[in-house]
Amino acid sequence: MDLQQEIIAKLGVQPQIDVQAEIRKRVDFLKEYVLKSGTTGLLIAISGGIDSAVAAGLCKRATDELAAERGRDYMTLGVFQPYGKQVDIADSYAVAEAFGLKHRIETNIEEAVNEIALEAEHGLKAIGVHRHLSRGGKGNVMARTRMVMQYALAFELNLLVVGTDHASEAITGFFTKYGDGAVDITPLSSLNKRQVRQLASELGVPQSVLDKAPTAGLWEGQTDEGELGITYANNSDYLEGKTIDAQAQEKLEKQYLRTEHKRAPIPGI
């Protein structure tokens, strides 16, 4: 088995999908785990991007079906987490409107992130390192702060925190390990980015979200493809077993091997 086939098998991506069947499978997956965990619903942070929009749509279907079947309330809580002013936050709210999410909370993480960064810089200064946190370092603080807030809310409301992780992120390691990569359940994990888009169209994700360039929103102008130097078209083709440009394949495989530690559980001895 060559590396491409090994990666595909490990991430569980199919070369083609039946969109309706995939939606049904993932809604059932969410419902089953809510019941198994004894929780009262799902929490999804809605960034305004396509991945969280699809996850929100799946969550809402799952909790609506559970409520109808069980005769009791199950909640999908949509959480909006701007850092200061989020220029596209209207897209986050448009997703909530599209899926009829009546439970919504907005929590601005700017002050908390800045305080953590300042305290970290004081710590560095104490050992003779006089500098501000790097852009990437502060981006990681943002990702982890968002998760702290999500879990604070989820604990109080007895909800599961839903992640938006999918195979096109996993292959590149483009997530903060145990930051935005630490969640309770990941209903998109075996889909590539193209397949996530297919589900988005079927679920009715707003067009303004479908048209956006994918970004983690870590700093102004940041995009996934610009940060990685790999297009999602090449990424998705590779995960579907297709032949892609040799240079793109080399870059993708190097990125996969370099980030293996991000996909691994915490090692012990």
Positions annotated as catalytic residues are: 51, 169
| CA–CA separation, 257 and 253 (whole Å) | 6
| CA–CA separation, 190 and 108 (whole Å) | 31
Contact present, 43 and 153 (Cβ < 8 Å): yes
| CA–CA separation, 66 and 149 (whole Å) | 26
| CA–CA separation, 89 and 222 (whole Å) | 16
Name the phi and psi angles at 123, rounded to 5.
Answer: -65, -45
Instruction: 110-116: list long-range contacts, CB under 8 Å, 24+ apart.
Output: 110/82, 110/83, 110/84, 112/145, 112/148, 112/149, 113/83, 113/138, 113/141, 113/142, 113/145, 116/141, 116/145
